Amino acid sequence: MNTQQEPNRLIESTSPYLQQHARNPVDWWPWCEEALELARTGNKPILLSIGYSACHWCHVMAHESFEDPGTAELMNRLFVNIKVDREERPDLDKIYQNAHQLLSQRTGGWPLTVFLAPDDQMPFFAGTYFPKEPRHGLLSFRDLMQRVHDAWVQQQDAIRQQNLSVGDALKRFESGGDPVATLDDSLIEAAREQLAQNFDRQRGGFGQAPRFPHPTNLDFLLRYWSGKRDDKEAAEMALFTLYQMGRGGLYDQIGGGFCRYSTDDDWMIPHFEKMLYDNGPLLALNTDAFQVTGDDFFAGICRQTASWVIREMKSPEGGYYSTQDADSEGEEGKFYVWTPEEVRGLLDETEYELVSRLYGLDREPNFEGHWHLHTFGDPEAIADSSGLSQEAFNDGIESARQKLFAAREARVRPGRDEKILTSWNALMMRGMARAGRVLGEPAWIDSAEKSLGFIRSTLWKDGCLLATFKDGKAHLNAYLDDYAYLIDAILELLQARWSDEALAFAIELAERLLEHFEDEQYGGFYFTSDDHEQLIQRPKPMSDDAMPSGNGVAAFALQRLGYLLGDLNYLDAAGKTLCAAWNRMESLPHAHGALLIALMEQLEPPEIHIARGDEAELAAWRDDMARSYRPGMLFYAVPSNAGLHEAVAAKAPQEHAVAYRCKGMTCSPPELI
């Protein structure tokens, strides 16, 4: 990057991704009314570029094109150039990813490159990465821009006609559909079969590389098994996949935490960026796997991942940072990879022998002439052939890991995106609360509570939730995911540590969700609130992507909150959401895991157990309840001196050590604990 270049308008942004482009020679604008008005008055098309700070190919395109004065001159002359961080503006990203799919008939990705008509921001051409010079069948970025500009000048009427069709298609993309009269388990069964058909029985996971974690599908399979214990294959698909991911290079064997995806079928070589939104659900899932199996392997994954989160992703204010880059010193993965000579110099002879055989240092390099640690050997077999007990083997590996970790800490670290996103914090908050409760780690619960406290004090303003915070500034209207994930996270956190204030906050969030996001005519929730900026589409997404569907999590969380409080409004909204989504779920059931999980609890309401007593008695009860995997049960330990919400107080009126069990809207007599 040319550090002598005068900064452009992006220098004022809270987004580290936008700030990375603040000294490009491109005359970048953030998405704002001033930029849109400039395009309208000059009848100049908009070049919209969407990416995020940890995106490797975003960095490549920036270096090749956006830092190049000649390319920038062409961009500035022909277009109004707008740069968007997809993590801060997922609304724009969802809309223009949908448009890319319609225009190109291919799924999108990042960087996303879209050309928009200046008057109505309708897209008329879309692609992803374009190289500086033609290669691999792609036009050069300069040639592409010239052709797009010429088409706009010469074929404007045809483009506007196309835009009418694109606009109609975008409306149909999120149409209400015909709600079903009766919900049943047919789509649950269909999704389970689809996942089985796509399951890789040798390596775990579904489909072919690139391999993404898909935590919502794994969650669905474990919950499916929990209701049908004779269907062991459902659990095995989830557990084997989690095991393979935890053994592989997708997982950071030295520092903990999962990378975004594997570039190969063996979970060996990741795209090295680490995203908060992956690690929160995967922390919760490995906790579930430990409950199901009792295998300390999964508990170890949880401990290392939670340590990484607190060590590297926790802000001083209490929120969690967003991502760590794939690159350091301009090279992807440089922070993580090794040479055998380097490792040998750090370990004693026995440690090196064990690490070499376990992680493949005795094999050919697996990443650009270096070794990225991936579990090749079987620990029990290596221990046996080395004449070591399993305990001695584990001690040797852990000693070596600590030495490698200390050496790696001295390296130049990958960049970190330090904006704090409400939705991603909620996913991690839920993971930390669940893992802390099950594994008996109060510091993890403390961490989750601090994240919630930060959101309440900084991102909840005048009864409205905000989406992002950085450099002392909280801004942007929150989206569906922010509200839905946060309600769900609070309900999980309350199982770890009761707080009537937190419950009251969840109720406030639910009320605003219903008032400003619900589609009262057809059911379900829009991605943006009714007081949000007017855009070319108001999406109502139902399927999962890298994160669970906001509609699915909203239905799930509102059902649980509705049963806890006995509030029919929440239950009705959840049911209407499932009905509204049914037609789209039918087309590809396994792509709607979050909605299917909500459907499971619609058909079989959760059991809610509330215990009241002094803290010592409650702690023993809570620990006992946390030992086994029971996803259809909620356990709330409420201290005798808690100031209870009236609905909870009505279910648990006594203030001594008793437990109350409610299923659906029916409660049983109290039992002593």
Quick check: helix, strand or coil at residue 584? helix
Q: How far apart are CA 478 and CA 482, in angstroms?
A: 6
- Taking Cα atoms as reference points, which of 105, 115, 122, 127 lies closest to residue 151? 115
Would you give the distance in Å from CA 365 to the centre of its chain?
A: 31
Residues in CB range of 282: below 8 A, 6 or more apart: 213, 215, 242, 245, 258, 305, 431
Q: What domains can you pick out in the chain, each with its CATH number?
A: 9-173 (3.40.30.10), 186-330+417-603 (1.50.10.10), 336-410 (1.10.10), 607-672 (3.40.30)
Q: Taking the CB of residue 456, how many other CB atoms lie within 10 A of it? A: 15
Mean pLDDT by 10 residues, the chain (673 residues): 73 94 97 97 97 90 96 97 97 96 90 96 95 87 96 93 89 69 92 98 96 97 92 96 98 98 97 96 98 97 98 97 94 96 97 97 96 96 94 96 98 96 98 98 98 98 96 96 98 96 97 97 96 95 95 98 95 96 94 98 94 88 93 93 77 72 84 79
Instruction: Give the span between the Cα atoms of 556 and 549, in whole angstroms.
Output: 11
List the end-to-end C-alpha distance of the chain, in Å, as a whole number. Answer: 65
Q: Tell me the sheet residues that pair with 468.
A: 421, 475
CA 205 to chain CA centroid, Å, is 18
DSSP-derived 3-state class of residue 48: strand
Tell me how crowded residue 74 is: count the other CB atoms within 10 A of its CB: 17
Q: Under DSSP, is residue 199 helix (H, G, I), strand (E, B) or coil?
A: strand
Q: Give 77-126 as a 3 state SS string.
A: HHCEEEEEECCCCHHHHHHHHHHHHHHHCCCCCCCEEEEECCCCCCEEEE
**Comparing C-alpha atoms, which of 317, 287, 323, 291 is closest to residue 304?**
287
pLDDT score of 106: 87
Token pair 């070499």: residue: 356
Contact between residue 266 and residue 246 where contact means Cβ atoms under 8 Å apart:
no
Identify the H or E element spanning 421.
strand 420-421
Note the pLDDT of residue 2.
46
- Contact call for residues 422 and 454 (beta carbons, < 8 A): no
Q: Which residues are bridge partners to 484 per DSSP? A: none
Structure confidence at residue 177 (pLDDT): 59
Instruction: Measure the CA–CA gap between 460 and 75, rounded to whole angstroms.
Output: 39
pLDDT in tens, 273-321: 999 999 999 999 999 999 999 999 999 999 999 999 999 999 999 999 9
